[in-house]
Each structure stands twice: as structure tokens, then as C-alpha cells.
Amino acid sequence: MTGMVTPWERISALPPALPVGRRWMKTSCLTLIATGPPPTGHLRRNPASPATHAGKRNRWWTSLMSIPEWRTATSPAKTGLEPNTLYIVDNRTKMPDSSGGLTDDSLERFYTDATGRVERVDTYAGVKGAWSVELNKRMPNVTYNVVAKTDGGLENHFTIITDDFAKPKSVEAHITGLLKGDINRSAWQQILAGIRVGGRGYEGGHIIASLFAGPGEGANLMAQLMFQNRGHGTPNVPANTLAFYQLERELMTKALHRVDTGQPLDLRVKVEAVPGPKPGLPDRVDVTFRFDAETSTTRRFPNLPMEQKESL
């Protein structure tokens, strides 16, 4: 395994705290958990400080990679990883805590498939000054499970799935709290996702609104027609037709009312980007939503200019 730097000694039995057929390796910054049979039925122990580890046969570890090595050597491609393996990385990002300060959140998890390709990442939404590397430098065809802190210490949960080009193709959100006040946005990521992809008339539109603690990173952005994003520019739908920004405002108004009147908030939203003329530029955006146990409703919003739609 690349990055192993610690001397080893072999032992003749698995530690009693571990089930047979699993390997467990840990450092203060990176943990590797691999499924499958251990090599020749043995584990290896770091003998550097026997006194420190005396009587702790359930603590087995190796120094795999430091955090800078993990970021530069394997990010964003994450190549050369072991198959069917869970990598756990400590202290990768920060989130606001209930006092308004920033708190380190200790664990990000990377799951590989049978070929060693990362297929799932469990991570956190970043904040201004501490954006998530994983959500800005995404991998293609990966499911990102994202946690974002909201006011009052609550957490919203998002499932973001990327396409062949590492662009978000769907975002599913379970919203139980709101993030009022300072909007957690990255102007640079909005430029990268918006006009850099769609050209004039497009901007980086948030798939899940900032009020709902939608991540400020590129994983939650798409090239969205300015009119659909915020009602500016040339309309691409007939008059009196619901636009994306209008539905977004309706959902935010209802959510704010519930929170401000002391009611519990339980909103589920799924946004799907229908592929368009180029990666990151959807032809259409489909939104499915419901509050509480209501029946889900789906609305579809075109994302190309009227003249371009007519020419297709």
C-alpha cells in the first residue's frame, strides 16, 4: 500500500476485538478499514512504543498517508486505492457550531468498489474560508452524502450524485433546519459553474438554496439561465408560467413560517438536472418536493433560451 512508512512485526492471531476476515489500520489522521480475508490470516502491529500499547490488543494501526499526502497524491482522482475499502480521513473541513464559531468535524469516509474506484463519499459542507475540497474537486459517478449545520445546531442532509463529467446530476435534500443571516456562498464557484459553462445569460445557480444550508461548493451549483435562477434577463417560458426561482421562494416562505412559528420543519426536495448540450448545462431541471407526509409534487423548468429550445 502506497505511503506505508512505519516498521512492522507480524503477529500470529487476530486481536479479539476484531471479527475474523477484517483488517483495521489507524493513525491520528487516516484510517483504513478493508473488508475481505486478511493476508495469510495475520495482522501487523506497530512496535514503536510497546509500553504505550501494552494490554490494548484491539488497537492496530499503520501510518498510511498524512492529510497533505492524501490531498495531493490522491485528490481529486483518488487512484491507486484498494478495492472494497473504507478510507476515513480526519479533520478535513469545518462547519459552524451552535455558538456561531467554526468547529472541526473529524471524519470523512471514502468507499471504494471492487475495482478500487471511489464510489461513495460521506463528508461535510464547508464554510467561507474553509470550503470542502471534495465538494469543489469532485469525482465522476460518485455519490456524496453531505451534512450541513443549520441554526440551532440542527443538521440538514444532502445526497449529491455526479455524472460522467463530475457535474451534479441530482441533489436530494432532507431539510429540518434553516441557515439565516450570512449567506454561505462562493462567488468564484458560481462563476466556474455559471458563465464559464453556459456563457452569457447564465449564472451559477444553487441547486438547493442557501437558506436550506445548501452547500456553497460547486457540487451544489449548475449553469442556470438567469431568468430561471432569479427572474432577471429574457424569460424562456410563456407569461404566468412558474419559474424555478418562484418555486424556490414558495418553499422558503413556507419553511420560514414553520420555523418562525415554532413548528417542526420536515421538507424533502430532489432536484434532477436533465442533460443538455454540454456537461454542466442542463436542458431542464426537475424538482420534486413535499412537506411532512404530503404527496410529492414535481415541477419541470426549462434551462435553455426560448430560441435555442425552438431550434432543437
Give the start-to-end residue ranges of the domains of the chain: 65-311
Q: What local confidence, expressed as pLDDT, does residue 102 receive?
A: 64
Q: What local confidence, expressed as pLDDT, does residue 126 receive?
A: 84
Residue 158 pLDDT exceeds 60: yes
Q: Lowest-confidence range among 16-30, 127-141, 274-288?
A: 16-30
Centre a 10 Å sphere on the Cβ of residue 59 and count the other Cβ atoms it contains.
Answer: 14
Q: What local confidence, expressed as pLDDT, does residue 105 receive?
A: 57
Give the model's confidence band at 215: pLDDT under 50 very low, under 70 low, under 90 confident, else very high.
Answer: very high
pLDDT by residue (tens digit) across 50-107?
A: 333 333 332 223 323 444 445 554 556 677 778 888 877 764 556 666 566 666 655 7
Q: What local confidence, expressed as pLDDT, does residue 83 receive?
A: 86
Centre a 10 Å sphere on the Cβ of residue 286 and count the other Cβ atoms it contains.
Answer: 15
Q: What local confidence, expressed as pLDDT, does residue 76 receive?
A: 61
Residue 118 to residue 86: CA distance in whole angstroms = 9
Q: What local confidence, expressed as pLDDT, does residue 45 receive?
A: 31
Structure-model confidence comparison of residues 121 and 181, the more confident one? 121
Q: What is the mean pLDDT of the chain?
A: 76
Domain 65-311 bears CATH identifier 3.40.720: no
Q: What local confidence, expressed as pLDDT, does residue 42 receive?
A: 29
Give the model's confidence band at 261: pLDDT under 50 very low, under 70 low, under 90 confident, else very high.
Answer: very high
Residue 37 pLDDT exceeds 90: no
Q: What local confidence, expressed as pLDDT, does residue 285 receive?
A: 98
Cα distances from 165 to residues 135, 192, 246, 286, in angstroms, run: 14, 14, 29, 20
Give the model's confidence band at 6: pLDDT under 50 very low, under 70 low, under 90 confident, else very high.
Answer: very low
Residue 165 pLDDT exceeds 70: yes
Q: What local confidence, expressed as pLDDT, does residue 185 receive?
A: 82
Amino acid letter, residue 225: L
Residue 200 pLDDT exceeds 90: yes
